[in-house]
């Protein structure tokens, strides 16, 4: 990226006239390099305290919301009331300056996978840049924008939310040309009250959607349909059995899923019909931006999945591990359980499931409902966390091979699973990120 001191001053309403170029913007002082602008944030520690370290690492300028008398004398200083809002303003300006087409993706599940698929598809024709990792909130999204190369033609932004109003702010910063909602699940239902509240929150992605833009939504989600009626923009539905864009699943194996749209066959290197729905979004974006089916098929076949989303690895003894531990809600967990159950695998299928967090007063019942997805296709079921005790009680009378561990007994869980698994087995681990199942996976991989 490159912005001049003068451009930044004009955006923020300060008076500097220098044509010196800023080459990087960081809110972590350790990541600043020569020619950088430091953005001090107020968290557990006040970022202003790290100005010396930022300067040592190459910062030449800083935003500043404290008293100006405390500001460094040897840097360009931009006094602002709120460093986060100023950071967002700069992102909006830089987006306008580079002027890429913008794709926005949200949803209770699948948004990161869909982002990865979409970027791989659009990269067949355009210079693309996408949200890195899970940088999808009010800091991560402007950070993504400010780190895109100046040659970017299409910017793919993942947009996350915790509360009502979050996506309105992100959509106005991103100003998408095209947007998609992958799924309405139960993530953050504790904050939003109901699936209806979640649907309304996800629809905020259209707040900054250009009037001539387009929105893609799942055809099998009735909560969204009435919310789209007031929109000026075109709305396109997608699905496996209904919708304006449809796919038919042909074959599912351990490492891939094959499907057909029209007469064109597609293959994605991940399991599950739910991932075919994600691919339908990427396909729809591809068609909207002028790619043909063969170009889209090539992108989908070779896309790279972000870590910990239905990712295969090996245990210490050669058993297969399927990791899906970045986040979890009942819809997402049910989908991956059903897909894992249907996979044609040689050995036993073993489950390690941890609590789904932020489900509020419905949490107990939502954990119990997971029993609908568990049957004798699974040889062993290990449940971890206080909320998973509800599922354990629902299962224990019908299944002998169900084991429960509370959140203070992670090591005992690790030892039990490690002792149990055989080289030909496959183990699925699923739970919210806060439950730390990634530690269990690391332990299973070690001798």
Name the binding residues.
107-113
Up-side HSE of residue 391: CA atoms within 13 Å toward CB? 31
Q: Kindly list the distances between the CA atom of residue 213 and the CA atoms of 166, 210, 227, 233, 434, in Å, as whole numbers in the listed order.
A: 21, 5, 16, 6, 36
Look at strands 402-405 and 426-430 and give their pairing: unpaired
Binding residues for ATP are 107-113
In the chain, the N- to C-terminal Cα span, in Å, equals 45
Taking residue 376's Cβ as centre, other Cβ atoms within 10 Å add up to 9
- Per the CB < 8 A criterion, the answer to whether 156 and 118 are in contact is yes
Q: What is the DSSP letter of 357?
A: P
Burial 262-271 (b: 16+ CB within 10 A, else e): eeeebbbebb
Rounded to whole angstroms, how far apart are CA atoms 243 and 239? 5
Tokens of 420: 């149990």
Residue given tokens 């659009």 in the structure block: 122
Rounded to whole angstroms, how far apart are CA atoms 140 and 148? 12
Please write down the long-range contacts of 377-382, taking CB distance under 8 Å and 24 or more positions apart. 377/341, 377/349, 378/341, 378/349, 378/350, 378/351, 379/348, 379/349, 379/350, 379/425, 380/348, 380/350, 380/351, 380/420, 381/350, 381/351, 381/353, 382/350, 382/351, 382/352, 382/353, 382/413, 382/416, 382/417
Which residue from 137, 1, 25, 22 is spatially nearest to 87, judged by alpha carbons? 25
Q: Report the Cα 215 to chain-centroid distance in Å.
A: 18
Rounded to whole angstroms, how far apart are CA atoms 38 and 25? 6
- Per the CB < 8 A criterion, the answer to whether 309 and 339 are in contact is no
Q: Report the Cα 8 to chain-centroid distance in Å.
A: 30
In which element (H, E) is residue 309 found? none
- Per the CB < 8 A criterion, the answer to whether 233 and 217 are in contact is no
Residue given tokens 């698929």 in the structure block: 117
Rounded to whole angstroms, how far apart are CA atoms 267 and 269? 7
């Amino acid at each position: 990226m490159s912005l001049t001191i003068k451009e930044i001053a004009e955006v923020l309403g300060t008076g500097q006239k220098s044509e010196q170029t800023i080459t990087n913007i960081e809110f972590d002082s350790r990541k600043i390099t020569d020619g950088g602008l430091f953005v001090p944030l107020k968290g557990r520690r006040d970022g202003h305290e790290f100005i010396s370290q930022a300067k040592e690492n190459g910062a030449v300028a800083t935003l500043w919301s404290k008293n100006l008398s405390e500001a460094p004398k040897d840097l360009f200083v931009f006094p602002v009331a709120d460093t986060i809002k100023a950071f967002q303003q700069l992102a909006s300006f830089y987006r306008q300056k580079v002027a890429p087409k913008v794709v926005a993706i949200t949803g209770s599940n699948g948004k990161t996978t869909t982002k990865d698929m979409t970027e791989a598809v659009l990269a067949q024709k355009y210079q693309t840049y996408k949200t890195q990792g899970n940088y999808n909130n009010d800091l991560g999204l402007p950070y993504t924008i400010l780190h895109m190369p100046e040659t970017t033609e299409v910017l793919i932004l993942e947009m996350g939310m915790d509360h009502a109003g979050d996506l309105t702010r992100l959509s106005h910063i991103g100003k998408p040309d095209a947007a998609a909602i992958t799924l309405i699940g139960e993530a953050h239902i504790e904050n939003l009250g109901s699936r209806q509240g979640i649907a309304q929150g996800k629809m905020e992605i259209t707040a900054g959607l250009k009037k001539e833009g387009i929105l893609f939504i799942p055809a099998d989600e009735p909560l969204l349909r009435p919310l789209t009626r007031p929109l000026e923009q075109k709305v396109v539905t997608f699905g496996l059995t209904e919708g304006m864009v449809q796919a038919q699943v042909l074959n599912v194996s351990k490492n891939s899923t094959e499907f057909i749209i029209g007469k064109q066959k597609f293959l994605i290197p991940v399991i599950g019909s739910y991932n075919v729905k994600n691919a339908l979004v990427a396909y729809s974006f591809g068609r909207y931006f002028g790619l043909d089916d063969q170009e889209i098929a090539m992108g989908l076949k070779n896309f790279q999945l972000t870590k910990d989303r239905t990712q295969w690895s090996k245990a210490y003894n050669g058993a297969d591990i399927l990791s899906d531990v970045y986040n979890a809600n009942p819809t997402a967990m049910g989908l991956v359980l059903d897909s894992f159950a249907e996979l044609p695998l040689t050995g036993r299928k073993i489950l390690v499931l941890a609590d789904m967090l932020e489900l509020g007063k419905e949490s107990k019942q939502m954990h119990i409902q997971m029993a609908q997805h568990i049957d004798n296709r699974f040889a062993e079921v290990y449940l971890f966390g206080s909320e998973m005790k509800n599922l354990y009680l629902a299962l224990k009378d019908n299944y002998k091979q169900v084991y429960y561990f509370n959140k203070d007994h992670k090591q005992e869980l690790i030892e039990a699973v490690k002792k149990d698994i055989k080289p030909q087995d496959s183990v699925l681990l699923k739970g919210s990120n806060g439950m730390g199942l990634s530690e269990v996976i690391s332990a299973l991989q070690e001798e």
